[in-house]
Amino acid sequence: MSGRGGGRHRQRARGGRAAREGGPAGAGGPVDAAAAGPVLAQFRAAAAALNDRHDRHERLVKLSRDITIESKRIIFLLHSAISVEEQEKATMDAMDRLNALIAGPIKAIGIELEQKPAYLHARAVSPGFQEFCEAYTFCYLMKHKELPPWSKLQNDFTYQIKNIEVEEQPERTVVTMLTQSDFLLGLADLSGELMRRAINSISRGIASDNQECHSCCQTTRDLFTGFVCSARARRCRASCA
């Protein structure tokens, strides 16, 4: 009995002393900031930075999801066009919707990552960029009969933004980073759309559609050749290093 009573008295003494000092009686309670000093301030700053990073990541994932959904709808619109007149109208509508994506969520990604490490959030936006590149190159190919270079898309992702609060301040340049790997992966996905378009064109049994089928096949061959040459060049550079 005496041992148990002594233990309780010692525990109460520690609890009272901790309460008088403003600290917890056990672990996990509030800590006096003045007593903790700069260590607690560093932890709080790190927690705020992590929370900001996670919130930004979630916003980027949502923007990427919106880009993916709209890009898939644009691809479906391009596939639904059958006649030449419908194809011209579909490509015009698709290009307008692609430009709306560039001026909307893609621009928002650039502003979100302004003065931030873009590569840190690359995985959050990569799926949306790949799907956008697939839709953009598909529409560009139908309209101009050639594939756009990566530099054209990167130039389209460059924005001049005016500061509304301070009118005297000059415009600043914001660039939404489109990595070459995302562009190449979008081109790789384009091969599936070309196969689908070739099958649809040849199944209609119209003589003019046969040329469209051959054009899709030739573009797929050119893509394959480009990827093979790129892989060989990369292996050569690795062996020479």
* Percent of the chain surpassing pLDDT 90: 47
Residue 88: CA count within 13 A, CB half-sphere: 2
pLDDT at 208: 62
One domain, residues 146 and 110: yes
pLDDT at 64: 96
pLDDT interval class at 111 (50, 70, 90): very high
Domain final residue pick, 177, 208, 229: 177
pLDDT interval class at 4 (50, 70, 90): low
One domain, residues 166 and 216: no
pLDDT tens profile 149-191? 999 999 999 999 887 766 677 888 999 999 999 999 999 999 9
Is residue 125 within 8 A of residue 64, CB to CB? The reply is yes
| Selected residue with higher pLDDT from 215 and 16 | 215
| Domain of residue 121, CATH code | 1.20.58.190
Cα separation of 139 and 195, whole Å? 15
| Selected residue with higher pLDDT from 166 and 58 | 58
Residue 17 has pLDDT above 70, yes or no: no
One domain, residues 95 and 60: yes
Domain final residue pick, 127, 149, 177: 177
Q: Is 41 a domain residue?
A: no
Least confident of 60-64, 161-165, 198-202: 161-165
Boundaries of domain holding 103:
49-177
Domain final residue pick, 177, 201, 222: 177
pLDDT tens profile 69-94? 999 999 999 998 888 888 899 999 99
Residue 45 has pLDDT above 70, yes or no: yes
One domain, residues 88 and 150: yes
Residue 27 has pLDDT above 50, yes or no: no
One domain, residues 206 and 165: no
Query: In degrees to the nearest 10, what's the CA dihedral of 50, 51, 52, 58?
Result: 110
Cα separation of 209 and 59, whole Å? 43
pLDDT at 202: 81
Q: Is 139 a domain residue?
A: yes
Residue 117 has pLDDT above 50, yes or no: yes
pLDDT at 32: 55
One domain, residues 166 and 213: no
Cα separation of 213 and 195, whole Å? 9
Q: Is 22 a domain residue?
A: no
Q: Is 88 a domain residue?
A: yes
Q: Is 40 a domain residue?
A: no
One domain, residues 207 and 110: no
Tally of domains within the chain: 2
pLDDT interval class at 6 (50, 70, 90): low
One domain, residues 200 and 240: yes
